[in-house]
Amino acid sequence: MPETWVNLAERMGSDLHVDLSGPGSRRAVLIRALRNAVREGWLTPGTLLPPYRSLAADLGLARNTVADAYAELIAEGWLTARQGSGTRVAERAAPPRPVRKPKPAPARPATPTHNLRQGAPETASFPRTAWLAAARRALIAAPDEAFGPGDPRGRIELRRALGDYLTRARGVRVDPERIVVCSGFAHALRLLFGGSPGAGAGPLRGPFAVESYGLRFHSEILEGAGVRTVPLSLDEQGARVAELAGQPRVRGVLLTPAHQFPTGGPLHPSRRASVIDWARTGDGLIIEDDYDGEFRYDRVPVGAVQGLDPERVVYLGSVSKSLSPAVRIGWMVLPRHLVDGVLAAKGGREAWVSVPDQLTLADFIASGQYDRHIRRMRQRYRRRRDQLVTALAERAPHITATGIAAGLHAVLRLPPGTEASAVKAASWQGIALDGLAAFRHPQATMPAGDGLVIGYSTPPEHAYGAAIEALLRAVPPSDAPSEGPAE
């Protein structure tokens, strides 16, 4: 028997593999293979088969063998043959399928009308025209070697552009050799602590301190890598980093110093200096999550903690808030001693970010389009924040919005014991949002009070006013009864 699998694409115009294995004569095997191809739907009704002479040559069979196989399948009704139109699969009815009663669909909540969850920019504002122009320029200028195996750090064009931008805009002290491009903050954590599919273990170990309120999945990544997390309590000056002194086994701390997530506010200057001293004295490490540092409104820019000691701080950023979470590009600015370990954890090229996207972002930054987009969105988000604050002041003055000097979200401080009912009332109004309790570390001992975390960047522009109206109907009145602390 010739090859077990034969490709008929050249003769038929589409891919089809005919299985010629199994017992029996060559004629019987071919009949069985073609019959199965029709039965399983690989050959659909009306499909033109190759002339028997061509198929015989392709399969290494005698012409009479193929001709006899065609004749038998025509007689059985599997194929039809007409003068001048060739041999085709017959237009035969599919065998009846047993009727099954559909299972009742599980009850699902209605899709929310208004999305006020934090974490995403306004998607309609993605700079499509400027991005497309940057992609065209970048691809035209790219050297041929850019499309082959590359540097696991990321394209040098992007690392240079990021180095210039981060130094200028965020006060980061960096050179391109210490930047590693990744697909976002979660990917960066997995590279540092382990957990990336197909890659090695990360260079960091625990226990690690985290802020008592934050994105839960960040702590889950650490815990999934076997790293115990220890919560640091918060106040109006940010994380209480002095508590690190009482945790001698803690190896490092994960902070959001420019704009604490989700409670808002920068880490106080004295605490920034204090946490650097702690890292130097105890050979500790700081991971700085600069998730929305470009967006500030009523205060002078707060530079990165990394600028105080580049060898004690891992600086992490991405374009998920500034551009779009669909552009899967982030970056790590690493102390020198961590670079090799992170690259080893990164592993095979499957975990690398698309080179065309890297080249496009590099051009987008270097051409000044990134700065222009940030300035435009900063103005838009500030107007949205002001609209929210004004509406609260006029119609719900007992509700205070905090954390509003920067970022893409605000915290609405509620009367004690009303958070759970407010989240439920928002759902009844068709609003998707979260209460503060959703971001509390399970071991946190100092609750931050009741509140709603409102992402004012998420709704489309035309729907934002209606979203605020619905929100105002959901917030508790000034005389709302307490239902106990939110958990």
Q: Which of 367, 387, 414 is the endpoint of a domain?
A: 367
**Which residues, 6 or more positions from 64, have their beta carbon under 8 angstroms from its beta carbon?**
none
**pLDDT-above-90 percentage for the chain:** 61
CA distances from 176 to 154, 184, 369 (A): 10, 18, 21
Q: Which phi and psi angles does 187 have, rounded to 5°? A: -60, -40
Residues 348 and 385 in one domain: no
Q: What is the CATH number of the domain that holds 395?
A: 3.90.1150.10
At residue 266, the pLDDT reads 92
Cβ(172)–Cβ(210) under 8 Å? no
Query: For 112-145, what is each residue's pLDDT tens digit?
Result: 899 999 988 999 999 999 999 999 999 999 999 9
Task: Evaluate if residue 472 carries a pLDDT over 90.
Answer: yes
Query: For 308-330, what is each residue's pLDDT tens digit?
Result: 999 999 999 999 999 999 999 99
> Can you say whether the dihedral through the CA atoms of 33, 39, 41, 43 is positive or negative?
positive
At residue 106, the pLDDT reads 47
∠ CA 439-423-460, nearest 5°, is 85
Range of the domain at 468: 114-118+372-474
At residue 77, the pLDDT reads 83
Q: Is 485 domain-assigned?
A: no
Cβ(404)–Cβ(410) under 8 Å? yes
Residues 344 and 376 in one domain: no
Domain count for the chain, please give it.
Answer: 3
> What DSSP letter does each residue of 62-93 carry, written as one string?
-HHHHHHHHHHHHHHTSEEEETTTEEEE---P
* Strand, helix or coil for residue 469: helix
Residues 143 and 268 in one domain: yes
Of the candidates 429, 424, 430, 389, which has an alpha carbon nearest to the alpha carbon of residue 409? 389
At residue 480, the pLDDT reads 64
Residues 267 and 296 in one domain: yes
Q: Which of 367, 391, 406 is the endpoint of a domain?
A: 367
Residues 132 and 69 in one domain: no
At residue 486, the pLDDT reads 47
C-alpha 400/C-alpha 414 separation (Å) is 8
Cβ(297)–Cβ(382) under 8 Å? yes
Q: Is 332 domain-assigned?
A: yes
Q: Is 84 domain-assigned?
A: yes
Task: Tell me the pLDDT band of 412, cut-offs 50, 70 and 90.
Answer: very high
Burial 439-474, CB ≥16 within 10 A → b, else e: bbbeebeebbbbbbbbbbbbbeeeebeebbebbbeb
Q: Which of 319, 340, 367 is the endpoint of a domain?
A: 367
Residues 295 and 187 in one domain: yes
Of the candidates 463, 481, 487, which has an alpha carbon nearest to the alpha carbon of residue 116? 463
Task: Tell me the pLDDT band of 11, cut-offs 50, 70 and 90.
Answer: low
Task: Tell me the pLDDT band of 74, cut-offs 50, 70 and 90.
Answer: confident
Q: Is 230 domain-assigned?
A: yes
Output the six-digit token pair for 391: 């509406």
C-alpha 346/C-alpha 195 separation (Å) is 10
Residues 304 and 347 in one domain: yes
Check residue 166 and report its DSSP letter.
H
Q: Please name every residue paired with 238 in a beta bridge, in sequence order, or none if there are none.
A: 235
Q: Is 100 domain-assigned?
A: no
CA distances from 287 to 97, 195, 317 (A): 59, 17, 11
Residues 217 and 310 in one domain: yes
Q: Please name every residue paired with 254 in a beta bridge, in sequence order, or none if there are none.
A: 210, 287
Cβ(89)–Cβ(49) under 8 Å? yes
Check residue 183 and report its DSSP letter.
S
Residues 186 and 291 in one domain: yes
- Give mean pLDDT, residues 266-288: 95
> What DSSP letter does each residue of 237-267 carry, written as one string?
TEE-GGGGGG-TT--EEEE--SS-TTT--PP
At residue 95, the pLDDT reads 52
- Give mean pLDDT, residues 92-102: 53
Q: Is 102 domain-assigned?
A: no
Highest averaged pLDDT of the listed ranges 68-77, 117-126, 387-396, 472-481: 387-396
Residues 204 and 288 in one domain: yes
Residues 274 and 162 in one domain: yes
**Which residues, 6 or more positions from 389, have their beta carbon under 8 angstroms from its beta carbon?**
401, 404, 410
Neighbouring C-beta atoms of residue 89, cutoff 10 Å: 20
> Can you say whether the dihedral through the CA atoms of 379, 384, 387, 393 is positive or negative?
negative
Of the candidates 85, 126, 136, 38, which has an alpha carbon nearest to the alpha carbon of residue 319? 126
Category of 265 on φ-ψ map: left (φ > 0), alpha (ψ -120 to 50) or beta: left
What is the overall mean pLDDT for the chain?
A: 87
Residues 376 and 362 in one domain: no
Q: Is 413 domain-assigned?
A: yes
Pairing of strands 229-232, 208-211: parallel
Pairing of strands 330-333, 238-239: unpaired
Biggest distance spanned by C-alpha atoms of the chain: 93
Give the residue carrying structure tokens 């240079």.
Answer: 160
**pLDDT-above-70 percentage for the chain:** 88
At residue 297, the pLDDT reads 87
Query: For 157-204, what is each residue's pLDDT tens digit?
Result: 999 999 999 999 999 999 999 999 999 999 999 999 986 555 556 788
* Strand, helix or coil for residue 232: strand
Check residue 460 and report its DSSP letter.
-
Q: Is 76 domain-assigned?
A: yes
Query: For 40-54, what is each residue's pLDDT tens digit?
Result: 777 888 888 888 788
